[in-house]
Chains A and B, each alone.
Chain A
Amino acid sequence: EPEVTQTPSHQVTQMGQEVILRCVPISNHLYFYWYRQILGQKVEFLVSFYNNEISEKSEIFDDQFSVERPDGSNFTLKIRSTKLEDSAMYFCASSEDRGLATNEKLFFGSGTQLSVL
């Protein structure tokens, strides 16, 4: 089965530093997402991205966050100045279509564990 690839699997950074999390979605997919899970809490939607622009974002996704599809294959999440509370598992996901159609599903990557010290 095709898969979404995320790198690195673990990232440690100092508070205030910029960090870029990378994802390679499935090749024919057009819709891309970032979710995150703070330890012990729910998996939360951050942002969706289609046609090189943000489709929707949550209130978590403030000005410190940005997403980009720089080269047609990668999909990145940048945190400009990390805070302690940004420590979480970040999941990338992609889908072929936007809607929750009968045969549609999200494909999730294995996640990047971000630790901000």
Chain B
Amino acid sequence: AQSVTQPDIHITVSEGASLELRCNYSYGATPYLFWYVQSPGQGLQLLLKYFSGDTLVQGIKGFEAEFKRSQSSFNLRKPSVHWSDAAEYFCAVGFTGGGNKLTFGTGTQLKVEL
């Protein structure tokens, strides 16, 4: 069965600093990979997704993620964090034939210091 690990439960960065949130997955074939963000009182919003092709994926709000098959990773990055980026971030994996059934990680809570 597929699984997702987000090793960092909490991360604090200063506004303007760069950000990298880690995500590792376990799945036998090529997965479909997603990053979602949840702001307080909001639903899960899709930031970006990887299905195939270019391993560097651009998303909304200036985020990007890179799929590295050799490391089974799909880390989320942003070059300069804004205070409004404070939220919880979830990595998720789907698979061929799985429909829209996703397996999520436990999430990383991002705090931004002004």
Q: How far is the CB of A99 from chain B (nearest CB, A)?
A: 6
Total of A-B residue pairs, C-beta within 8 Å: 68
**B49 is contacted by which of A42, A43, A55, A105 (Cβ under 8 Å)?**
A105
A18 within 8 A of B: no
Alpha-carbon distance between A93 and B77 when the two chains are bound, in angstroms: 26
Q: Is the CB of A109 within 8 A of B43?
A: yes
Q: Mark B20-35, 1 if CB is under 8 A from A, else 0.
A: 0000000000001000
Q: Does A25 sit at the interface, judged by CB under 8 A?
A: no
**Do residues B42 and A93 form an inter-chain contact, with CB atoms below 8 A?**
no
Cβ contacts under 8 Å, B43 to chain A: 3-4, 6, 91, 107-111
- Per the CB 8 Å criterion, the residue count for chain B at the interface is 26
A98 CB-CB contact with B under 8 Å: yes
Q: Kindly identify, within residues 89 to 114 of chain B, every residue whose CB is under 8 Å from any CB belonging to chain A.
A: 90, 92, 94-96, 98-107
Residue from A4, A6, A93 in contact with B100 in the complex, judged by beta carbons closer than 8 Å: A93
Chain A positions within 8 Å of B106 at CB level: 40-42
Most buried by A among B92, B101, B106: B101
